[in-house]
Amino acid sequence: MLNMMAVKISLQHSRKEAMQFALGVALVVLPQAYIAILFTAHLRENPILITVIQKVTAVVFLVLSGYFLYLSKKEKKQITTENNPRKNTFWSGVALAVLNMFSVPFYCGVATSLDMLGWFSFQQATICWFVIGSAIGTLLLLFVYASFAKLIQKRATTLSKNMNIILSILTGVLGIFTLIAAYF
């Protein structure tokens, strides 16, 4: 969602506005990644919580699956290019990043995976590098999306027509697998 918003802002306004949006998003990633690391460390010590989280996550994925299926039925409209300066794109980035409910679980998953591979330790220096790297990586990725917005718009027309149905299937499958994992 955030990467497509960067594309949209770049197309409708300017690359500079998209970069302000990206900066807002990246600044929110700093505390989100840190919270995710703390949460992951806490989960390592309390495995019972994992089962509860799996059940809640399964419900959330299934609800999202229905929502994306509903959206897939609605009519799509093409993003148009305008050159209107938009104020508060930085704060739009902050607000949308705060509302992004997938970032903390994503960083929990990344930290868990890195820990299982032996590439991560829950020491303060490692945590700081992880958090800073996450924010810089987010900023650079959103910059790439904003820089190639016109190319992405041309190539993504077919994909965007089917994106909600793809997301519906993906979240539905994730919901079912998570539900199965929670009970077995």
pLDDT in tens, 90-118: 999 999 999 988 889 889 888 888 888 88
Q: Is the pLDDT of residue 87 over 70?
A: no
Q: How far apart are CA 120 and CA 130, in angstroms?
A: 9
Q: Which amino acid is at 52?
A: V
CA 42, 46, 52, 53 dihedral sign is positive
Q: Which domain holds residue 52?
A: 2-77+86-183
CB-based contact 34:147 (threshold 8 Å):
no
- pTM of the predicted model as reported, rounded to 2 decimal places: 0.72
Q: 152 to each of 11, 22, 93, 159, how far by Cα in Å? A: 10, 17, 20, 10
Give me the number of domains the chain comprises. 1
